[in-house]
Amino acid sequence: MPTLETTYMGLTLKNPVIIGSSPLTSTLDGLKKCEDAGAGAVVVKSIFEEQIDSQSAQMVKESSDYVAHTDGSDFLEEVSRNFYIDRYVSLIEQAKNALDIPVIASVNCRSHGSWVDYVERFGAVGADALEVNQYILPNDMYTTSQEIEQEYHTVVKEVKKSISIPVAIKMGPYFSSLAHTIKQFDSYGVEGFVLFNRFYQPDIDINKLNLKPMVNFSTEHDYGQALQWSALLSAYLNGDICASGGVHSGETLIKLLLSGAKSVQVVTAAMRNGLGIISEMNDTLTSWMEKRGYESFVDFRGALAHKRLEDPAVWERSQYMKSLNVEF
């Protein structure tokens, strides 16, 4: 029987299927269910920068009638900030006591701020790693691309300085030079790259004429971007790639391992079809490995990555030179 054991960011995972940050991982009960269903690791539902910084400031502002004294507002801001952080830290601590698999904390942020000073508390209660999900919507017409990129670099460097556990950056694909940006993050010592984040986008309700939330679930065809970039970059980085987005089957998991990913994250498929998808994926992987006589991932991981191919240019194509010989 082949082993599915993998390493990701220096952590040992019994298999490469991680349940990503989502409602599935927002409670201790949910996290335990992921472990019971066979997950290799879990990423806890993110704490948001706003919960640490802005909401505390907002709460102070709203209370300003009552808190005229600066000491009082400082105190209130600290209490509010601590409420969210304490709750999150407590969830991580409980999860670490209850689960044997790695527990990865997650912060969702835009920019650097005082929240960075608090992340070390996650490591202190035993979080195995921290995933930083940073995204700046570039909608300000007066902010240059260099200024935006600088902000990403500041966050990554400051987080790396503030915490001693491994750090993964959950990336969006929208960088003019994605490879260069990732390589620079790699040079700061980032241990993991989650490719890619999936962004929330608002929708319009045409009957009520207002905005409504749109949950951005993936389809089984959405793994192509993670596959291509994992193949292009995996062999050239010190950090590990965790592929995310559209991982719905064991076949896709195998493709991503062949591209060089060390692990995958799954959310939509588990929310839609239940956590049984974890063992389905691992069973498909096991029988595929058995059929080919592979004993561990060392035998095949990254075999189809850019660096390992005689003609790697196929991974670099993004325009159709000719259409496929398929009748649509």
Report the interface residues with ligand FMN, using CB under 6 A: 20-23, 45-46, 106, 108, 133, 170, 197-198, 215, 217-218, 244-247, 265-269
Shortest separation between residue 290's beta carbon and ligand FMN, angstroms: 26
Nearest in space to 256 (alpha carbons), one of 278, 227, 213? 227
Shortest separation between residue 219's beta carbon and ligand FMN, angstroms: 8
Residues linked to residue 79 through DSSP beta bridges, in sequence order:
none
* 83 or 135: CB nearest ligand FMN: 135
* Cβ-proximal residues to 142 (8 Å cutoff; 6+ apart), any chain: none
Radius of gyration of the chain (CA): 21
Q: Which residue has the tokens 């608090």?
A: 118
Tokens standing for residue 106: 């997650």
As a whole number of angstroms, the distance between CA 79 and CA 173 comes to 37
As a whole number of angstroms, the distance between CA 279 and CA 125 comes to 29
As a whole number of angstroms, the distance between CA 285 and CA 294 comes to 10
As a whole number of angstroms, the distance between CA 92 and CA 272 comes to 25
* 60 or 233: CB nearest ligand FMN: 233
* Separate counts of helices (H) and strands (E) for the chain: 11, 13
* 108 or 286: CB nearest ligand FMN: 108
Shortest separation between residue 296's beta carbon and ligand FMN, angstroms: 25
Give the dihedral sign, CA 128/230/31/131. positive
* 46 or 73: CB nearest ligand FMN: 46
Shortest separation between residue 200's beta carbon and ligand FMN, angstroms: 8
* 11 or 270: CB nearest ligand FMN: 270
* 40 or 60: CB nearest ligand FMN: 40
* 162 or 225: CB nearest ligand FMN: 225
Shortest separation between residue 266's beta carbon and ligand FMN, angstroms: 5
Shortest separation between residue 108's beta carbon and ligand FMN, angstroms: 5
* Residue 149 burial by Cβ neighbours in a 10 Å radius (0-12, 13-18, 19+): middle
Q: Nearest 10 degrees: CA dihedral of 61, 65, 69, 75?
A: -50
Shortest separation between residue 238's beta carbon and ligand FMN, angstroms: 23
